[in-house]
Structure 1
Amino acid sequence: MRRARPPLRVVLLDADGVLQRHRPGLVRGLLRLGGPRFLLDALRAEVGCLTGERDFPDALAEAMRRHRVRGTVAEVAARWLDIVVDPRRLALVDELRGRGVRVALATNQHRFRGLHMREVLRLDDHFDAAYYSYELGVAKPDAGYFTRILDDLGEPPGSVLFVDDLPGNVRAARAVGIDARLHLWRTGVAGLRRTLTSRL
Structure 2
Amino acid sequence: MKALMVDVDGVLVHGRPTDGLPPFTYLERDLGLTREMLQQAFFKPYWADIVTGREPIEPRLADVLDRIAPNITPEALMDYWFENDSRLDRQLLEGLVEYRKKGVTLFLATNQEHRRAAYLMERLGLSEHFDGIFYSAALGHKKPSEDFFRIATERSGYERHEIAFIDDSIENIEAARDFG
**TM-score range normalised by the length of the shorter chain:** 0.7 to 0.9
Q: Deviations over 1:119-144 (max 9, x none)?
A: 21121221223212222222212111
Give, in whole Å, the separation in 2 of the partners of 1:135 and 1:110. 8
Contact 1:17 1:165 (C-alpha < 8 Å) held by counterparts: yes
Structure 2 SS opposite 1:74: helix
Report the alpha carbon displacement of residue 19 of structure 1 after superposing the two structures with TM: 1.0
Q: How does 1:40-59 map to 2 (within 5 A)?
A: 40-44=40-44, 45-59=46-60
Q: Which sections of structure 1, spanning at least 5 residues, go unmatched?
A: 1-7, 178-200
When residues 139 and 155 of structure 1 are mapped into structure 2, their CA distance, relative to the original with a 3 A threshold, is same
Deviates more, 1:64-73 or 1:134-143: 64-73
Q: Which sections of structure 2, spanning at least 5 residues, go unmatched?
A: none
Greater length-normalized contact order (CA 8 Å, ≥ 6 residues apart): 2
Contact 1:57 1:77 (C-alpha < 8 Å) held by counterparts: no
- Residue 73 of structure 1 is matched in structure 2 by 74
Structure 2 SS opposite 1:100: coil
Higher strand share: 1
Give, in whole Å, the separation in 1 of the partners of 2:39 and 2:135. 24
When residues 41 and 171 of structure 1 are mapped into structure 2, their CA distance, relative to the original with a 3 A threshold, is farther
Q: Which of 164, 167, 170 is the equivalent residue of 2:170?
A: 167
- Residue 89 of structure 2 is matched in structure 1 by 86
RMSD: 2.1
Give, in whole Å, the separation in 2 of the partners of 1:120 and 1:18. 18
Q: Does the alignment pair 1:29 with 2:32?
A: no
- Residue 136 of structure 1 is matched in structure 2 by 139
Q: Does the alignment pair 1:18 with 2:11?
A: yes
Contact 2:52 2:113 (C-alpha < 8 Å) held by counterparts: yes
Report the alpha carbon displacement of residue 47 of structure 1 after superposing the two structures with TM: 3.8
When residues 29 and 60 of structure 1 are mapped into structure 2, their CA distance, relative to the original with a 3 A threshold, is farther
TM-score, normalization by structure 2: 0.82
Contact 1:142 1:172 (C-alpha < 8 Å) held by counterparts: yes
Structure 1 SS opposite 2:50: coil
Structure 2 SS opposite 1:144: helix
- Residue 61 of structure 2 is matched in structure 1 by 60
Give, in whole Å, the separation in 1 of the partners of 2:152 and 2:35. 38
Query: Which structure is larger by alpha-carbon Rg, 1 or 2?
Result: 1
User: Identity of counterpart residues, as a percentage?
Assistant: 29
